[in-house]
């Protein structure tokens, strides 16, 4: 389970300029991050992946262990392990990294609405909590918290999911499934709770950040077979994003996004992943025979397009 890693050093003086290391997971086309304060070495994991093979039902921690090796080699001090939203394409390693490092966990406060929605879809037991208490912190729009001498600000950015948030750290913003790389466009909005109109407004909010803000996306699907990429800037997205060039208004964008989404099959892991990810990456408890089991609700996503 190989991952690509690239460490991006701060440019200019260190004030407000975090160090970012990006880890590309080729199995899911996901990008995981370690963002750190150069002055103190405090760091946060963002959107870590718990490896899962749906064919064999196997779980592994190779990707998350790669983050731990990087942190150890660089002498960093983990303080946070963060998700931008409940993922539909991979299992989250938040719980694993929290247990391994003692870092505090966090996600957007609207996760409680996602938990309520998916608890019903999965018919989870009454004991499953839908109050977000699986995480240490639930972040509301405008919340700020420290990472060493840096400050992280939370922007509520729904659309892809109803709980999506952006983490702004100095001159960097971790935007995950909102804008993708400019040559690929924008994120889909057809999951339960998604909304293309909301995504349009979230994009405008991100694009109102200073033009040189570094934007770090959570996926790269490598159009044309190019090498993986994950960093752009606000000005690059404003001027080069293929969907924003085609759609100049909310109405046009909603039509474009809905038309594209209608042609997309569901992510292959959506029903596997959400039951884990609404529990902060905690796997189901072992049953009487000592094995853990995932639930796969049949016909839970009516009208979903087949591959």
Alpha-carbon dihedral sign for residues 20, 230, 271, 62? negative
Rounded mean pLDDT, 264-274? 96
Q: Which residue has the higher pLDDT, 178 or 5?
A: 178
pLDDT at 205: 97
Percent of the chain with pLDDT over 90: 93
pLDDT at 73: 98
Rounded mean pLDDT, 84-105? 98
Q: Is 217 helix (H, G, I), strand (E, B) or coil?
A: coil
Please report the domains of the chain, with CATH numbers, ordered by start residue.
Answer: 3-277 (3.60.15.10)
Check whether 7 has a pLDDT greater than 90. no
pLDDT bin (cut points 50, 70, 90) of residue 10 is: very low
Rounded mean pLDDT, 278-305? 95
Rounded mean pLDDT, 154-175? 97
143, two tokens: 């919340």
Do the beta carbons of residue 192 and residue 117 sit within 8 Å?
yes
Backbone angles phi, psi at 44, to 5 degrees: -130, 140
Q: Supply the mean pLDDT for the chain.
A: 94
Rounded mean pLDDT, 179-196? 96
pLDDT at 60: 98
pLDDT at 12: 35
Rounded mean pLDDT, 119-142? 97
Do the beta carbons of residue 45 and residue 80 sit within 8 Å?
yes
199, two tokens: 């995504």
Q: Residues 36-90: pLDDT tens digits?
A: 999 999 999 999 999 999 999 999 999 999 999 999 999 999 999 999 999 999 9
Q: What is the DSSP letter of 228?
A: P
pLDDT bin (cut points 50, 70, 90) of residue 1 is: very low
Q: Residue 257: which of 173, 180, 205 has the closest Cα?
A: 180
Rounded mean pLDDT, 252-267? 96
d(CA 153, CA 164): 14
What is the pTM for the complete model shown? 0.94
pLDDT bin (cut points 50, 70, 90) of residue 307 is: confident
Check whether 101 has a pLDDT greater than 50. yes
**E strand or H helix at 237, and its extent?**
helix 234-240
pLDDT bin (cut points 50, 70, 90) of residue 267 is: very high
pLDDT at 143: 97
């Amino acid at each position: 389970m190989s991952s690509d890693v690239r460490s991006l050093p701060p440019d200019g003086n260190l004030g407000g300029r975090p160090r970012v290391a990006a880890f590309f997971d080729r199995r899911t086309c996901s990008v995981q991050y370690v963002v750190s304060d150069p002055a103190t070495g405090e760091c946060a994991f963002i959107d870590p992946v718990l490896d899962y093979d749906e064919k064999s039902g196997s779980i592994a921690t190779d990707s998350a262990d790669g983050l731990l090796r990087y942190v150890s080699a660089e002498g960093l001090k983990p303080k946070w392990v963060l998700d931008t939203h409940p993922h539909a394409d991979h299992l989250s390693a938040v719980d694993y990294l929290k247990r391994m490092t003692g870092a505090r966990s966090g996600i957007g406060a609207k996760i409680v609405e996602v938990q309520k929605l998916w608890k019903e879809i999965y018919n989870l037991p009454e004991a499953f909590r839908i109050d977000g208490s699986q995480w240490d912190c639930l972040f509301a729009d405008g919340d700020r918290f420290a990472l060493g001498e840096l400050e992280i600000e939370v922007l509520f950015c729904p659309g892809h999911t109803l709980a999506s948030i952006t983490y702004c750290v100095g001159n960097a913003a971790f935007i995950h499934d909102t804008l993708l790389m400019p040559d690929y466009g924008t994120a889909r909005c057809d999951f339960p709770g998604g909304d293309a109109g909301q995504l349009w407004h979230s994009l405008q909010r991100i694009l109102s950040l200073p033009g040189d803000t570094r934007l770090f996306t959570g996926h790269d699907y490598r159009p044309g077979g190019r090498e993986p990429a994950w960093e752009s800037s606000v000005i690059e997205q404003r001027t080069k994003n293929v969907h924003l060039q085609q759609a100049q208004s909310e109405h046009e964008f909603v039509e474009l996004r809905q038309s594209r989404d209608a042609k997309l099959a569901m992510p292959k892991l959506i029903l596997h992943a959400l039951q884990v990810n609404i529990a902060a990456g905690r796997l189901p408890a072992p049953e009487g025979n000592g094995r853990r089991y995932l639930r796969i609700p049949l016909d839970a996503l009516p009208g979903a397009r087949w591959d």
